[in-house]
Chains A and B, each alone.
Chain A
Amino acid sequence: MGRERFEDMKDAYALGALSGEERREFEEYLAGHPEDQAEVEELISVAGLLALSPAEQEPSPELRRNLMQAIRAEPSVPEPERRSIFDGLRDLLGYRALAAGVAVVALIGLLSWNLLLRDEIQDLQSRPDVAQTQPVKAQPRVLELQPAQSAGHASGELIMLKGEQGLLVTKNLPQIPEGRVCQIWVIKNDKPRPSGLFQPDDDAPVAAPMTRAPTKGVIVAITIEPAGGSPQPTSDPILTTQL
């Protein structure tokens, strides 16, 4: 197979539209031309989008039951240690407890420049009676954000302020390319709505006020988007939480 035939067949290959013999011939060529593999992988990604387009169908509950019976009847998959899913959750919780502590400490340092909190503090400062008689009520509600695996050691917290205002404190976010920003989303009834932008900082926690109230039941997520933000998310989330 030469270059010309490769060009002629690559789209059909990506769509799975070559015969078995053609596919083997194409893959042999590809194995000998690693410089062409990225192009083919991109075509496969584009063709694979078709898999997302069919109308939603719900499989029967029997399918799930049969499948689970089948895998439990299978010879055991090699496993050095059988870990419950809850062990994984416990690991995450342990990590997040630490991350939460770091984020809360970081928040104290960020109060001086965060507009929302400054307003709140000024409000309290102007009312010493409130500050003295109700010192405990100023505790905000804090929710931890779940990092995607691709987000490395990223951590974050959603701090619920009075009046349903939200403040996101994030730390250790992955480096983002030039011309990109982190965008906050509030997802309600399956509709993601832009709720603020911020630039991550390599060395310090970043606090970002949310422009949309994180009300009960919504999902809050952070994605990386082109500068200026996007009307709809264009990448997978790096941090999420559900209220």
Chain B
Amino acid sequence: MLLADEELVSLAQAGNAEAFATLYDRHSRSAYSLAYRMMGERQSAEDLVQDAFLKVWRSSGSYRAERGSVRTWILSIVHNRGVDQLRSTASRRRTQDKVEANAPKAQPSEAFAETWRNSQRDQVREALNTLPGEQLKILELAYFSGYTHVEIASLLDLPLGTVKGRMRLGLKKVKDFFDSQDMVVPG
């Protein structure tokens, strides 16, 4: 018997720690995976996830179902706070590729929600695989490493217009991938 994420958020908003714990159990792995990808090491990633989930707890009343799923909301909190932390750090970590290559495989799960997330993750990875390397790299530097477009242009020694163009083409290509397969962009 599972409660929907939206129901858990409502219960958490009312101060129900059990509901919040269930929400954490359901989404902590995705949140931590994103945090680890951004921060590049375990302790910083855990600090980021704890910080993000505390915000989830404190501001569960701000969740709006019409703007996307609970998972998307939680991941956006992790992402936004991660970018803030990266930008406030003097030296940025650039170990993401190594981290990605050395990452352990996910444990199989029979839980439906986990299955669903895995299925969507596969679709997203398939979409990202259609991008040329130079477009994907720019999306990753922006999204996971928190660089601004100006910083990326400087890092890669590219004209700013080229960076913007690759961002535009990269995002468009991901969207086109979902459109071409008559798939809905997961919200």
Binary interface encoding of chain B residues 96-129 relative to chain A, with 1 for a CB under 8 A from any of its CBs, else 0: 0001100111111110101111111111110110
The interface size bin for chain B is 35 or more
Given contacts A47-B171, A82-B14, 12 further A-B contacts (CB under 8 A): A16-B146, A17-B149, A46-B174, A52-B75, A55-B99, A56-B105, A66-B50, A74-B57, A88-B7, A146-B2, A147-B4, A234-B182
A149 in the interface (beta carbon within 8 A): yes
Contact status B112-A219, CB under 8 Å: yes
Q: Using a CB-CB cutoff of 8 Å, which residues 25-77 of chain B contact chain A?
A: 25, 28-34, 36-37, 42, 45-46, 49-50, 53-54, 57-58, 60, 65, 67-69, 72, 75-76
Whole-angstrom CA separation of A192 from B119 in the bound complex: 8
Partner of B148, one of A18, A67, A79, A89: A18
Shortest distance between the CB of A235 and any CB in chain B (Å): 5
B85 on interface, CB distance cutoff 8 Å? no
Mark out the residues of chain A between 112 and 148 whose CB falls within 8 Å of any chain B CB in the assembled complex: 146-148
The answer to whether A71 touches B175 (Cβ under 8 A) is no
Could you tell me the distance in whole angstroms from the C-beta of B62 to the nearest C-beta in chain A? 12
A149 close to B115 (CB less than 8 A): no
- B1 A89 Cβ-Cβ under 8 A: yes
B125 partner residues in chain A, CB cutoff 8 A: 53
Q: Choose one: A14, A59, A77, A82; the contact of B29 (CB below 8 Å).
A: A59
Contact (Cβ within 8 A) A240 B2: yes
User: What are 29 A-B residue pairs whose CB atoms fall within 8 Å in the complex?
Assistant: A14-B171, A15-B171, A16-B79, A16-B143, A17-B152, A43-B171, A46-B185, A50-B140, A52-B75, A52-B117, A53-B128, A54-B33, A55-B37, A56-B29, A56-B33, A57-B29, A57-B33, A57-B45, A58-B32, A77-B12, A79-B13, A79-B15, A83-B11, A92-B1, A146-B4, A148-B4, A149-B4, A217-B110, A232-B122
Chain B residue with the shortest CB-CB distance to A219: B112
